[in-house]
């Protein structure tokens, strides 16, 4: 039987996940499909009911439905519960399961780019306090990063997210970023700033220490102005595309029973789809 998988979102047309899963299906010679399905939040319960009929083996959930699906699932992983959001769904023994693989994707790409990064990341600085920041902080705390400084445009969201990780995370002020940069071994941008079509991320990196890891989860453009500036100052760049690729691995394995690899060929395919801006 040909297995069908999906990505639901609103809008969903921009998603590059079909490119990733299509590549792996072809690579492994599997008869399956991975389809974009436009599902506005109000239609999520109806779509979940369709899943229970066995129409799909599973799929991904993207903005704005990651939180909406959570109360509709039968079994939610510990990570998805902590995130308050699921991005990967699958049917197992007649029950609908949900997990969140964003933290896994973030960590797997960081591991691939900078082996041993956790041992040298005593202090991390996170920009932004949305869902992506929550996933990144979850990942960093799992790997034992002891001190995480969190800054956000809206300070109340930084305080709220910091309160969810009281041992490791301290909320700091956005206007103090220039000083915090100099204290940090790892800096992660989780905001949309610097993305093509969004305002620039204007922060002062003059205090960046050589060898500091700078990770931008934005991947359009592939080398964001933040990453370019970090490179000029001797920082180690980690781009956002790898997180997208790696977060897809656990889902594909669940649905098709094969653990796929993030290869140079896959990366090249995605890079070719990203506009040079």
Looking at beta carbons only, is 108 or 171 nearer to ligand ATR?
Answer: 171
Where is 126: in which H helix or E strand? Answer: strand 123-127
Question: Per CB under 6 A, which region of 23-31, 176-184, 185-193, 254-262 contacts ligand ATR?
Answer: 185-193
Among 105, 131, 221, 242, binds ligand ATR (CB under 6 A): 131
Closest distance of CB 72 from ligand ATR, Å: 19
Closest distance of CB 256 from ligand ATR, Å: 27
Among 14, 95, 146, 153, binds ligand ATR (CB under 6 A): 153
Closest distance of CB 124 from ligand ATR, Å: 16
Residue 121, SS3? coil
Here's the x/- map for ligand ATR, 213-252, by CB under 6 A: it reads as ----------------------------------------
Residue 235, SS3? coil
Closest distance of CB 276 from ligand ATR, Å: 23
Among 62, 184, 191, 212, binds ligand ATR (CB under 6 A): 191
Looking at beta carbons only, is 10 or 23 nearer to ligand ATR?
Answer: 10
Binding flag, residue 205, ligand ATR (CB under 6 A): no
Question: Cβ distance 164 to 131 under 8 Å?
Answer: no
Looking at beta carbons only, is 25 or 161 nearer to ligand ATR?
Answer: 161
Among 55, 154, 259, 265, binds ligand ATR (CB under 6 A): 154
DSSP characters for the chain?
A: --EEEEEEESS-TT--HHHHHHHHHHHTT--EEEEEEE--GGGHHHHHHHHTTTS-SEEEE-TTSTTTTGGG-SEE-HHHHHHT--SEEEEETTEEEEE--HHHHHHHHHHHHSTTGGGG-SEEEEE--SHHHHHHHHHHHHTT--EEEEE-SSHHHHHHHHHHSTTTEEEE-GGGHHHHHHH-SEEEE-SSTTSTTS-------TTPPTT-EEEE---SSSS-HHHHHHHHTTPEEE-SHHHHHHHTHHHHHHHHS------HHHHHHHHHHS---
Closest distance of CB 21 from ligand ATR, Å: 21
Total binding residues for ligand ATR by CB under 6 A?
15
Among 11, 45, 144, 199, binds ligand ATR (CB under 6 A): 199
First CA to last CA across the chain, in angstroms?
Answer: 42
Among 41, 122, 130, 234, binds ligand ATR (CB under 6 A): 130
Report the number of secondary-structure helices (H) and strands (E) in the chain: 11, 12
Which residue of the set 3, 66, 167, 269 is catalytic? 66
Task: Indicate if 66 belongs to the active site.
Answer: yes
Among 152, 184, 224, 247, binds ligand ATR (CB under 6 A): 152
- Active-site residue set: 66
Residues found near ligand ATR in the complex (CB under 6 A): 128-133, 152-154, 157, 190-193, 199
């Amino acid at each position: 039987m040909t297995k069908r998988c999906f990505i639901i979102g609103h809008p969903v047309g921009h998603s590059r996940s079909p490119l990733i899963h299509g590549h792996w299906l072809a690579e492994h010679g599997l008869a399956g499909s991975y389809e974009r399905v436009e599902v506005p939040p109000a239609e999520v319960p109806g779509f979940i009911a369709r899943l229970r009929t066995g129409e799909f083996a599973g799929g991904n959930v993207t903005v704005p439905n990651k939180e909406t699906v959570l109360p509709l699932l039968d079994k939610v992983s510990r990570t998805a519960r902590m995130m308050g959001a699921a991005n990967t769904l699958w049917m197992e023994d007649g029950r609908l399961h949900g997990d969140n693989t964003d933290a896994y994707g973030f960590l797997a790409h960081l591991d691939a780019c900078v082996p041993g990064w956790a041992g040298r990341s005593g202090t991390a600085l996170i920009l932004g306090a949305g869902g992506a920041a929550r996933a990144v902080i979850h990942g960093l705390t799992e790997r034992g990063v002891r001190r995480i400084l969190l800054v956000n445009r809206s300070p109340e969201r930084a305080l709220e997210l910091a309160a969810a990780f009281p041992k490791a995370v301290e909320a700091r002020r956005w206007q103090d970023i220039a000083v915090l940069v100099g204290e940090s071994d790892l800096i992660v941008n989780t905001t949309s700033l610097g993305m093509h079509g969004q305002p620039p991320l204007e922060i002062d990196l003059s205090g960046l220490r050589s060898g500091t890891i700078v990770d931008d989860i934005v991947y359009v453009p592939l080398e964001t102005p933040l990453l370019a500036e970090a490179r000029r100052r001797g920082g180690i760049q980690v781009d956002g595309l790898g997180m997208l690729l790696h977060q897809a691995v656990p889902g594909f394995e669940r649905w098709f029973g094969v653990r796929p690899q993030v290869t140079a060929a896959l990366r090249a395919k995605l890079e070719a789809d990203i506009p040079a801006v």
